[in-house]
């Protein structure tokens, strides 16, 4: 095995030691047509049939879970999908493509999907389009089963861990493999703030992107060490290097365990200045994965995922049940429900938005809600109905103008009554125009939360999912830092609470900067809570204020980050000392 050392961009920290598994993409467009020898035809058909059985089993499981969690009506779609896989006409066509035309199993499925594509292209209308998805989705599942055939073989006997290697870091890649089997992810492409990256971080999987053609350079089964903190990848490592890395990973885990043990203490700086630490979640299920005592509630519930994982729009009652499951875990703490933020890369399969040349600049978030008032009204009704269950906070995504905020508030008032909303009403600041109009917007709301992931995208005019311009996506650039300081100052002057729920809040340098600017709350993936709390406890607010001011005055992102990192490194030193004390 050849030794190969590579350097890429860090996306999620940590050390991963395991065996490479090259995951093929599940988008059929990228699968080359493959032919087989006549003698292999019978085996190829068996392979396809086996993958289909596995897909059917999977659908059965999803159906059972959906029935349990969401009800029989929603689960019915999966029974229909199972029927699609058993369609006799499709079966005989697939058999003919394999046995007569000698197509490999994945190419035969591709032929079937192409046939559906041509058929549905000629049909008009939203219903037809969603019908097409119902026909193609189950076969895509079979395809995935086929392509993941090698999964079991890829597991190294010794290490039992997979280093997933793929061309692009997509959300589907991250969720397609069992979390406990994946110890690291390596990709050619993928922005650090893409949704795939956000997921990888929240799953705690060390991840590196910016490794060109990595999927062609490595082979499944090769031993690999991934250093998520520095972006270094070692393939074909020696036994000694592997052992050292395993020790490093164990040490990191140990430090983490000590930090978790101290994470129930209230968030504060060394001098006792409080910093509220909340979590970002996508589903009530996320709350089972960590100790909720560590946090002051939920700072961002991305409710669109509730809509995305269902086969159709949730009713008001469906939503009340889901929101109630979060509120019952936090009866006395703040829970911030962000209203539907679909559009761009977050799509609902049952609600097709028009094809747009610039989707990130188009019909998404609040814009879509205001144009579909029925949909928005239902969500506001559901959230308002939950007001007695806890501290319900409603937050609007992708706000651009004051007028939009007023229109949304009017809708809430139509439900709740003027001047008595019964729930707290806030907005996300993600668009530079809204940041500049904040002095007016802040008068209409109870709280502000900054979405730095999108704010950077719109401030620098760089698509957060486009790795070609990833270099220009610079959260630590002084231009962004100055906007963040401006937002904090404006909210403080208006005496309105201001927090951050973008990824920066879960990064040590980001958390230090934000606390130093006067942000009173940080919301992040649960994974980062112990570390951020432990680090904040080591440093006085005065130090954070000075380093935040200095970073904002720097010349460029590298300089600004270095200023913040100096304080972070000092805080880490103190954490390490206390871990050592804990050990003795
Ligand atoms: C953000 O933009 O910072 C944010 C928190 O929202 P999302 O990542 O879901 O767009
Ligand atoms: Mg956003």
Both 385 and 453 in a single domain?
yes
- Structural domain contains residue 571: no
Residue 24 has pLDDT above 80, yes or no: no
- pLDDT of 122 reads 64
- Structural domain contains residue 551: no
- Residue bearing the CA closest to ligand 1, atom 1: 451
**501 catalytic residue (yes or no):** yes
- Structural domain contains residue 543: no
What are the strands of the beta sheet with 232-235, ordered from one edge? 4-7, 232-235, 223-227, 15-22, 162-168, 182-189, 207-209, 9-12
Both 357 and 505 in a single domain?
yes
pLDDT in tens, 331-353: 999 999 999 998 877 778 778 77
- Structural domain contains residue 267: no
- pLDDT of 160 reads 55
Both 318 and 419 in a single domain?
yes
Return d(Cα 383, Cα 337) in angstroms, integer.
Answer: 8
**Of 62-76, 161-175, 300-314, 481-495, highest mean pLDDT:** 481-495
- Packing angle of the helix pair 41-70, 126-147 (nearest 10 deg): 120
302 lines ligand 1 (CB under 6 A): yes
CATH number of the domain at 98, please: 1.10.274.10
- Whether the Cβ atoms of residue 447 and residue 499 lie closer than 8 Å to each other: yes
- pLDDT of 154 reads 43
Strands 521-524 and 276-281: parallel
Q: Which of 501, 505, 506, 524 most suits a substitution to test ligand 1, by most atoms within 8 Å of the C-beta? A: 501
- pLDDT of 66 reads 67
- Structural domain contains residue 261: no
Who has greater pLDDT, 75 or 524? 524
Q: Which residues contact 472 (CB under 8 A, 6 or more apart)?
A: 460, 462
- Structural domain contains residue 562: no
Return d(Cα 172, Cα 33) in angstroms, integer.
Answer: 23
484 lines ligand 1 (CB under 6 A): no
- Structural domain contains residue 94: yes
pLDDT confidence band for 156 (50 / 70 / 90): very low
Residue 5, beta-bridge partner list: 234
- Average pLDDT of the residues in 223-246: 90
Tell me the ligand closest to 194's alpha carbon.
1
**Of 285-294, 356-365, 384-393, highest mean pLDDT:** 384-393
pLDDT confidence band for 380 (50 / 70 / 90): very high
Both 312 and 426 in a single domain?
yes
Return d(Cα 536, Cα 259) in angstroms, integer.
Answer: 12
Mean pLDDT of the chain: 88
Instruction: Show which of 128, 153, 178 is a domain's final residue.
Output: 153
Return d(Cα 260, Cα 274) in angstroms, integer.
Answer: 19
Return d(Cα 87, Cα 581) in angstroms, integer.
Answer: 65
- pLDDT of 399 reads 98
Residue 420 has pLDDT above 80, yes or no: yes
* Segment holding 69, helix H or strand E: helix 41-70
Question: Ligand 2 centroid to 454 CA: how many Å?
Answer: 5
Question: Ligand 1 centroid to 465 CA: how many Å?
Answer: 12
Phi, psi of 448 (to 5 degrees): -130, 140
Pick from 147-156, 191-200, 430-439, 549-558: least confident: 147-156
453 lines ligand 1 (CB under 6 A): yes
Both 354 and 218 in a single domain?
no
Instruction: Show which of 153, 187, 204 is a domain's final residue.
Output: 153
Question: Ligand 2 centroid to 111 CA: how many Å?
Answer: 38
CATH number of the domain at 486, please: 3.20.20.60
502 lines ligand 1 (CB under 6 A): yes
Instruction: Show which of 493, 521, 549 is a domain's final residue.
Output: 521
Both 380 and 480 in a single domain?
yes
Question: Ligand 1 centroid to 165 CA: how many Å?
Answer: 26
How do the residues of the chain divide into helix, strand and coil, expressed in percent and rounded to 5? 55, 15, 30
**The tokens 């199993």 sit on which residue?**
105
Both 424 and 298 in a single domain?
yes
Give the predicted TM-score (pTM) of the model: 0.76
Question: Ligand 2 centroid to 324 CA: how many Å?
Answer: 24
Q: Which residues contact 215 (CB under 8 A, 6 or more apart)?
A: 22, 165, 166, 167, 188
Both 320 and 194 in a single domain?
no
Both 133 and 184 in a single domain?
no
Both 46 and 175 in a single domain?
no
- pLDDT of 305 reads 84
Q: From the candidates 195, 384, 477, 480, which is the catalytic residue?
A: 195
pLDDT confidence band for 431 (50 / 70 / 90): very high
- pLDDT of 429 reads 98
Who has greater pLDDT, 380 or 166? 380
Can you read off the two tokens belonging to residue 117?
């594509």
430 lines ligand 1 (CB under 6 A): yes
pLDDT confidence band for 172 (50 / 70 / 90): low
Return d(Cα 188, Cα 190) in angstroms, integer.
Answer: 7
Return d(Cα 95, Cα 508) in angstroms, integer.
Answer: 56
- pLDDT of 180 reads 79
506 lines ligand 1 (CB under 6 A): no
Q: Which residues contact 406 (CB under 8 A, 6 or more apart)?
A: 444
Atom of ligand 1 nearest to the CA of 280: 5
Number of domains in the chain: 3
**Of 197-211, 220-234, 303-317, 520-534, highest mean pLDDT:** 520-534
- pLDDT of 133 reads 62
**195 catalytic residue (yes or no):** yes
Q: Which domain holds residue 400?
A: 274-521
- Structural domain contains residue 408: yes
Tell me the ligand closest to 500's alpha carbon.
1
55 burial level (CB within 10 Å; 0-12, 13-18, 19+): buried
Q: From the candidates 187, 491, 501, 517, which is the catalytic residue?
A: 501
467 lines ligand 1 (CB under 6 A): no
* Segment holding 456, helix H or strand E: helix 452-460
- Whether the Cβ atoms of residue 343 and residue 353 lie closer than 8 Å to each other: yes
Question: Ligand 1 centroid to 453 CA: how many Å?
Answer: 5
Q: Which of 191, 286, 453 most suits a substitution to test ligand 1, by most atoms within 8 Å of the C-beta? A: 453
Both 349 and 289 in a single domain?
yes
- Average pLDDT of the residues in 554-575: 96
- pLDDT of 158 reads 45
Residue 152 has pLDDT above 90, yes or no: no
- Dihedral angle of Cα 60, 62, 63, 65, to the nearest 10 degrees: 120
- Average pLDDT of the residues in 94-107: 91
501 lines ligand 1 (CB under 6 A): yes
CATH number of the domain at 191, please: 3.50.30.10
Both 455 and 316 in a single domain?
yes
Residue 129 has pLDDT above 60, yes or no: no
Who has greater pLDDT, 237 or 30? 237
Q: Which of 306, 428, 451 most suits a substitution to test ligand 1, by most atoms within 8 Å of the C-beta? A: 451
Who has greater pLDDT, 300 or 43? 300
pLDDT in tens, 188-219: 988 787 778 887 888 889 999 989 889 878 87
Q: Which residues contact 276 (CB under 8 A, 6 or more apart)?
A: 267, 296, 334, 499, 520, 521, 522
């Amino acid at each position: 095995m050849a030794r190969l050392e590579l350097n890429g961009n860090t996306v999620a920290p940590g050390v991963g030691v395991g065996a490479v598994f090259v995951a093929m993409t599940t988008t059929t467009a990228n699968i080359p047509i493959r032919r087989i020898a006549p003698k292999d035809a019978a085996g190829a058909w068996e392979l396809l049939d086996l993958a289909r059985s596995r897909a059917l089993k999977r659908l059965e499981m999803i159906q059972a879970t959906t029935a349990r969690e969401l009800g029989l009506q929603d689960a019915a779609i999966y029974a229909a999908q199972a029927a699609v896989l058993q369609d006799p006409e499709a079966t005989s066509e697939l058999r003919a493509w394999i046995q007569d035309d000698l197509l490999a199993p994945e190419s035969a499925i591709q032929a079937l999907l192409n046939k559906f594509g041509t058929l549905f292209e000629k049909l008009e209308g939203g219903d037809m389009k969603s019908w097409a998805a119902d026909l193609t989705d189950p076969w895509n599942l079979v395809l995935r089963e086929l392509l993941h055939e090698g999964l079991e073989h890829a597991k190294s006997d010794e290490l039992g861990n997979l280093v997933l290697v793929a061309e692009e870091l997509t959300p589907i890649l991250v969720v397609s493999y069992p979390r406990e089997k994946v110890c690291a992810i390596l990709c050619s492409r993928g922005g650090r703030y893409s949704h795939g990256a956000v997921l990888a971080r929240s799953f705690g999987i060390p991840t590196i992107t910016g490794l060109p053609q990595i999927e062609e350079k490595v082979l499944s089964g090769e031993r690999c060490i991934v250093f998520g903190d520095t972006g270094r990848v070692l393939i074909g490592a020696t036994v000694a290097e592997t052992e050292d890395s395993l020790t490093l990973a164990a040490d990191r885990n140990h430090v983490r365990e000590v930090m978790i043990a101290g994470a129930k203490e209230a968030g504060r700086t060394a001098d006792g200045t409080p910093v509220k630490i909340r979590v970002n979640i996508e589903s009530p299920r996320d709350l089972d994965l960590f100790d909720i005592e560590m946090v002051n509630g939920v700072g961002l519930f991305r409710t669109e995922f509730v809509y995305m994982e269902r086969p159709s729009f949730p009713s008001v009652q469906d939503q009340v049940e889901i929101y109630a499951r979060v509120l019952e875990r936090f009866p006395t703490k703040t829970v911030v429900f962000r209203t539907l933020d679909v559009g761009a890369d977050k799509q609902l399969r049952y609600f097709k938005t028009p094809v747009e040349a610039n989707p990130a600049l188009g019909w998404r978030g609040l814009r879509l809600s205001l144009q579909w008032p029925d949909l928005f009204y239902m969500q506001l009704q559901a959230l308002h109905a939950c007001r007695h269950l806890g501290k319900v906070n409603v937050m609007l995504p992708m706000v651009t103008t004051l007028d939009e905020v007023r229109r949304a508030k009017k809708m809430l008032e139509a439900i709740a009554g003027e001047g008595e909303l019964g729930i707290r009403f806030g907005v996300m600041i993600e668009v530079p125009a809204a940041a500049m109009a904040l002095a007016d917007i802040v008068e209409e709301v109870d709280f502000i939360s900054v979405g730095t992931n999108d704010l950077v995208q719109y401030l620098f005019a760089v698509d957060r999912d486009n790795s070609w311009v990833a270099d220009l996506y610079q959260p630590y650039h002084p231009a962004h830092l100055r906007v963040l300081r401006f937002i904090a100052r404006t909210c403080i002057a208006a005496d309105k609470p201001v927090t951050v729920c973008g990824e920066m809040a879960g990064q040590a340098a980001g958390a230090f900067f934000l606390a130093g600017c006067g942000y009173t709350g940080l919301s992040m993936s649960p994974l980062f809570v112990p570390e951020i709390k432990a680090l904040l406890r080591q440093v006085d607010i005065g130090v954070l204020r000075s380093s935040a001011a200095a970073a904002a005055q720097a010349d460029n992102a590298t300089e600004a980050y270095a200023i913040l990192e100096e304080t972070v490194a000092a805080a880490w030193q103190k954490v390490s000392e206390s871990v050592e004390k804990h050990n003795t």
